[in-house]
Amino acid sequence: MNVCVFCSSSNAVDKIYFDQSEELGALIARSGHTLVYGGANVGLMEHIAQASKKNMGKITGIIPEKIHGKLLGSTHPDELIITPTMDARKNKMRELSDAFIALPGGFGTLEEILEVITLKQLDYHRKAIVFINTNKFFDMLFLQFEKSFEEKFAKENYRTLYKIVNNATEAIEYIQNYEESTHQDKWFIVPEKEE
């Protein structure tokens, strides 16, 4: 299975986040899966790749030209794909991956994981999506999700689009036992077509 991990490129975050990324990288490798990630040599991205490589895992990195040009490409991937744009990078990550896991991260990580949730909601894919809520990092985001459900900006059954877990072990167990759910239309009320 190709497991896509979205995560931070910051080297300034607390050790707890690096520890969790290393644990996830090691588990992906030991489980016989391929790590698909952003391909950079900084932050949690570099740590997850190092851990995967150390455990004999296969790694595919996908990085846009602009970032690669800043000498930020990692040396750990077995294959480093350089894309012309960020959009192309995200498309390639989604195309190659069988499941998506979000570790804590900034705006880019949030945008990536929310996009795969949106695409699943619209039935462009039916793949597993997991948040690893290290140190309660995503708690405020989940409160925003609750507000959306409460005020009917999103259907209650869309809670099943993603899974919230506390650690890497739970994330790997979830994606390995994941079963596709039946898709339901996003819209509450669809206008009737005029004859």
What are the residues whose beta carbons fall under 8 Å from the beta carbon of 33, sequence distance 6 or more?
A: 1, 2, 3, 57
pLDDT in tens, the chain (195 residues): 999 999 999 999 999 999 999 999 999 999 999 999 999 999 999 999 999 999 999 999 999 999 999 999 999 999 999 999 999 999 999 999 999 999 999 999 999 999 999 999 999 999 999 999 999 999 999 999 999 999 999 999 899 999 999 999 999 999 999 998 766 666 666 566 665
Nearest 5°: the CA angle 165, 145, 184 is 90
Domains and CATH numbers, the chain: 2-137+157-176 (3.40.50.450)
What are the residues whose beta carbons fall under 8 Å from the beta carbon of 15, sequence distance 6 or more?
A: none
Cβ neighbour number for residue 143 with a 10 Å cutoff: 9
Report pLDDT for 191.
63
pTM across the whole model: 0.93
Give helix 15-30 / helix 168-176 axis angle, nearest 10°. 30
> CA–CA separation, 115 vs 6, rounded Å?
11
Which residues is 64 bridged to in the sheet? 83
